[in-house]
Structure 1
């Protein structure tokens, strides 16, 4: 009886760990739909608080994003994080601007927003 209980507990632990192991990867369409929901929300404003909210809402999407959109989303999040600081580093933002623009273009191409 003890051995059976131990085996069942071990099996349950393995199944539980397997169920939590990895986030499923989204397709381009799914990633685009989730990003569109975030940037279309009323809370997605261009002020510092709005940029922080958008960046924080994009983080879990980026974790499961399609391969095509993972890097562009990371670039966008990093840009928003810097821009939303109380005193953003303007030189750093200027350096990031080209990558941010390229990330937006990639997003537009993949998601068909016509950028």
Structure 2
């Protein structure tokens, strides 16, 4: 019984370590394709629940996004997170608005029809 438990713990540790290794960043084209698949999903960001769903769909993309698109995705997630709060801080939202708008423009330039 002890040997089996030890083997299971060791296997779990190896799998955990393998899961924690950093994936190589995606190219802009791959990142854009993933972003577009999220945008095509049935998520409405007009209500708080929709903003939460959208931010949660973007988070895994940000983790492996191309270097050029990581910062814009992070800005979008920050804005959506603050907007989805039960009582959003108006000052913080105003502070996050410019980076959020710039992020949208960057995504449009990089992922737009002429950007690929």
Question: Which category of TM-score, normalised to the shorter sequence, fits these structures?
Answer: 0.7 to 0.9
Structure 2 residue runs of 5 or longer lacking an equivalent are: 1-12
2:5 aligned residue:
none
Q: Runs of 5+ in structure 1 lacking a partner? A: 1-12
Q: Is contact 1:38-1:44 (8 Å) kept?
A: no
Q: Alpha carbons of 1:95 and 1:18: their partners in 2 closer, same or farther (altered >3 Å)? A: closer
Give the root-mean-square deviation of aligned CA atoms. Answer: 2.2
1:32-111 → structure 2 map (5 Å cutoff): 32-111=32-111
**Is contact 1:51–1:81 with CA below 8 Å preserved after alignment?**
yes
- Relative distance call for 1:18 and 1:56 in structure 2 (3 A) is closer
Size of the alignment, in residue pairs? 103
- How far has the Cα of 1:44 moved from its partner? 3.3
- Runs of at least 4 residues off by over 3 Å: 16-20
The answer for the alignment partner of 1:3 in structure 2 is none
Partner of 1:9: none
**TM-score of the superposition, structure 2-length normalised?**
0.78
Normalised by the size of structure 1, how large is the TM-score? 0.79
